[in-house]
Amino acid sequence: MSKRRKNSSSSSSSSSSSSSPEKKIFINQCDKYKEERQSEIRIHFYFKDLYIGGLPEDEFLFYLHGRIQKAGPCDLLQISSINKETQTIDVAVGFKYDDDALKVYQGKVSVKTRDKLIPVLSKVYTEMLKEQGHMMKEQQSDYRKSQQKELSREKEKPQQYIPTYNCTNITNLDNISKEQLYIFGIPKEFTIEECITEIKQTYDLVVKPEGIFRSEKVGDITYEYLELQVERIPCQQILKKQPLVLKNISLLCVQKKKRTDPFNEVLKPYSVILSGKVNLSQVYAHMTTLGGVLFHQISESKYCVIMQSEQSIIDLKLPCSVDIQKVQCQVIQNSDFTMQMARPNLNETTYNKIQEFKKKQEEMKLARLHSSSSSSSSSSSSSSSRSRSRNKKKKKYHHKKKH
């Protein structure tokens, strides 16, 4: 390594004395010797106004780093500005290779959190793109406008220095706090690997969650659930995008305020009682649009429905009445949670019960049509038979009259 530096030094001194053209040096050039392919640019672009809420900056950067790494190795992730009033930050991004930065710039690879993030090019990277002929004329115009906007915006901000976030440290998952989610209603036929893989894909999680099936009994009620450990941001993603649906089966996903809280107290705020002369299929079709997830038929006209969130309970404005198939049904808060929460067999899930119910209804409908068609055909045959009989009698009568 020292030999290489020595050669570099001697070659640079000889080149300075010679009349050969000087190599372009970028302002925010990396300050270390790198392999030939690696970028000389320290900052390629910025992501502006990223909302982090009350999250610690390092936790948000870990999450963002995972998203950016999908485009390629990232050497630098640095907070360039913080707005505490709006709870937003600006982040500078430097890729290890220019080709990976180019993919993001050209839109071939997108960086997404909840929305697709739009990169704002750094000045030096813009110059490089112009030199290499990668920047279109309209994009140059857009860049000039964005730069003018950024300059005016920067003047309004107080100058501050925020240290670079070291990308080599943010791969250490042990430093990131994890939260527990409890998922109910998973059929017994679903394996833990299937569930975790589906959840990762559904919510586009960077890190695969950890999970375990657990079972506990409180009095006469059995609670069987998947306990999932996820980082704080993905945890909020899952809770906001409810219900959690795996292979058409809606599942209940909740958190505990304290790990010691009993499940009957945790689930009670999500639970309502619906009374009315309607069937399970009708209740399911109507209440799922209002946030219903798990359903239990108590009697012929009484149902326990567990809603997907406390907000869906607030939206109902209990006690209330709902119109289901022209039947007024009463909905009240469940004062005593006694619903069994064991994992069902797949054919016992509400979704499958309703599919079976619909199938039987369709079969009955076809049977009635077939019966109606058969009776109509029989009636027609009988009518034509009587008509032929009358015609025969008439012919016989006329024949006798002639004689």
* Topology match between the domains 26-165 and 177-333: yes
Q: Which two tokens stand for residue 380?
A: 């027609």
- From first to last of its 403 residues, the chain has per-residue pLDDT tens of 444 434 444 444 444 444 444 444 444 444 444 455 788 888 898 998 888 877 778 778 888 888 888 888 888 888 888 888 888 888 999 998 888 888 888 888 888 776 678 889 988 888 888 888 877 555 555 545 555 555 455 444 433 333 333 444 444 434 445 788 999 999 999 999 999 998 888 887 767 788 999 999 888 899 999 999 887 767 777 887 778 899 889 999 999 988 889 998 999 999 999 999 999 999 999 999 999 999 999 999 999 999 998 889 999 999 999 999 999 999 999 988 888 899 999 999 999 988 888 888 888 888 778 777 666 665 555 666 666 666 655 555 555 555 5
CA dist., res. 290 & res. 354, Å (int): 18
- Nearest to 188, CA basis, from 222, 139, 153, 232: 222
Integer-rounded Cα Rg, in Å, for the chain is 35
Angle at 66 (CA atoms; ends 65, 71), nearest 5 degrees: 90
The residue length of the chain stands at 403
- Which SS3 state, helix, strand or coil, does residue 218 take? strand
Question: How much is the pLDDT for 294?
Answer: 94
* pTM flag (> 0.75): no
CB atoms within 10 A of CB 380: 10
- Which SS3 state, helix, strand or coil, does residue 50 take? strand
Quick: pLDDT tens for 340-378.
899 999 999 999 988 888 888 888 888 778 777 666 665
CA dist., res. 66 & res. 37, Å (int): 23
Q: Which two tokens stand for residue 302?
A: 């009484």
Question: Do 204 and 368 form a contact (C-beta atoms < 8 A)?
Answer: no
Question: How much is the pLDDT for 389?
Answer: 61
Q: Which residues of 325-357 are buried (b: 16+ CB within 10 A; e: fewer)?
A: eeeebebeebeebebebebbeeeebbbbbbeee
- Nearest to 50, CA basis, from 85, 77, 87, 76: 87
Q: Fold for domain 177-333? A: Alpha-Beta Plaits (3.30.70)
Q: Fold for domain 26-165? A: Alpha-Beta Plaits (3.30.70)
Question: How much is the pLDDT for 387?
Answer: 63
Edge-to-edge strand list for the sheet holding 88-95: 120-121, 45-51, 88-95, 74-83, 164-165
- Nearest to 162, CA basis, from 95, 77, 99: 77
In which residue are the tokens 């394996």 written?
191
The residue extents of the domains of the chain are 26-165, 177-333
